[in-house]
Amino acid sequence: MSGQRIYNLDGLRLVAAMAVVLFHFVFHGPVMQTIPAVERSGWMIGAAQYGYLGVSVFFLISGYVIAYSANGRSALEFAIARFTRLYPTFALIMSLTALVTLLFGAPHFYTGSQQYLANLTMMAPAFGQKYMDGAYWSITLELVFYFWVFVLLTLGLFQRYQLAIIAIWLGFSTIAEFVLNVATFRQLFITEFCGFFAAGILIYRIRSGDGRIVTRLLLAAAFAHSMIATIVGTRAITDAVGVTFEPSVAALTLLGGYGLFTVAAFADRPLLPAAWLTFLGGLTYPLYLLHQQIGYIAIQQLGTGFTGTLPLVALIALLLFVSWLVSYYFERPLMPKLRQILRELSERMIPARFPLGRILNRVG
């Protein structure tokens, strides 16, 4: 697959991240009285209300990108690539968030050593602790998705039986999510969001030349699952925040997200200069990790002085600048070196001639 398709998705990632940022700062934070009202414009508040669907677009992109990046890679190579991409930046920004919370969070936000240590695992709720930042919940679901891809690569099933696995996953998730409604299944098998991950994988297959009717039928099923899950989910979020979320508006917003994704994925060339898209894509992950808790604390500290579009733009610009610092001065120099170190370490600890080494180094 040409890198052009990834460039466009890099740009779309930042669009999705900005939707989530506006959702938290303009709608969710003020509605939940976590922060004072930032924006008075009714149209902007209404638009930001559905920005949470940016996370669904992340999952759609993730399915596509993981199908691409896992293609031809061994399970071990895949695990090293995912670890180096996610964990160092997460540990850095989570630590920064903990420090900011400790120094400036009171009286609204608190943290402690137990919460910090639990969050270092990226699975804080498994240890009875809250996420250091509320946005981290989606990272956990990404990790669950990566885990299952790793298992399938290890068993040599990810490429060989991909369509069958997706069909089983969609069927099981439909029953588990809409009939059984079991919370454990929702976490372990991503039953609520599986339609997005599956759709991303299937669109990658179609973009790569798989024109079979079964692939297109599965894509239709994945799209239907994601749309129904989104519509049903408006009930839960309405109950949670006490503001009505219209199913029709959520469905149309999601449809727009699918449309943007399709344009980005099927474009024959970068929609903007490739260097720009790479730059914008590099900001996305740090921005997503940085924005909510630190942003809320900043707004709380400024109090009633933080009102209107200009302070909001200034805060987002500052977060983007810090995201660039992390991307350029931390991720860019560290990731290749860490990846190489882990590869060499894995070769020493699990030689390819050993059974486990042969299994983990099997091409998926």
State the Cα–Cα distance between residues 294 and 25, nearest whole angstrom. Answer: 11
Closest CA to 142 of 220, 85, 88, 95: 85
Question: For the residues of 8-21, what is the DSSP string, one character each?
Answer: HHHHHHHHHHHHHH
CB count within 10 Å of CB 109 equals: 18
pLDDT in tens, 33-71: 888 888 777 788 889 999 999 999 999 999 999 999 998
Band the pLDDT of 97: cuts 50, 70, 90. very high
Residue 32 confidence (pLDDT) above 80:
yes
pLDDT band at 3; cut points 50, 70, 90: very low
- Which string of DSSP letters, residue by residue, matches 214-257? HHHHHHHHHHHHHHHHHHHHHHHHHHHHSS---HHHHHHHHHHH
| Distant-in-sequence, close-in-space partners of 337: CB < 8 Å, separation ≥ 6 | none
Query: Residue 305 carries which DSSP code?
Result: G
**Rounded Cα distance, 225 and 205, in Å:** 19
Residue-wise pLDDT tens digits, 208-265 = 999 999 999 999 999 999 999 999 999 999 999 999 999 999 999 999 999 999 999 9
Its pTM stands at 0.93
Query: Torsion angle, CA of 181/182/184/187, rounded to 10 degrees?
Result: -10
**Greatest distance between any 2 Cα atoms in the chain:** 65
When pLDDT is averaged across residues 188-206 and rounded to a whole number, the result is 97
Q: Positive or negative CA dihedral for 99, 104, 106, 109?
A: negative
Worst-scoring range by mean pLDDT, 2-11, 151-160, 278-287? 2-11
Query: 88: closest CA among 329, 255, 350, 362?
Result: 329
pLDDT at 359: 58
Degrees, nearest 5: CA angle 151-230-235: 125
Q: Tell me the C-alpha distance between 356 and 93, whole Å.
A: 34
Per the CB < 8 A criterion, the answer to whether 133 and 296 are in contact is no
Q: What percent of the chain has pLDDT over 70?
A: 94
User: Would you call the peptide bond into 333 cis, given omega within 30 degrees of 0 as the criterion?
Assistant: no
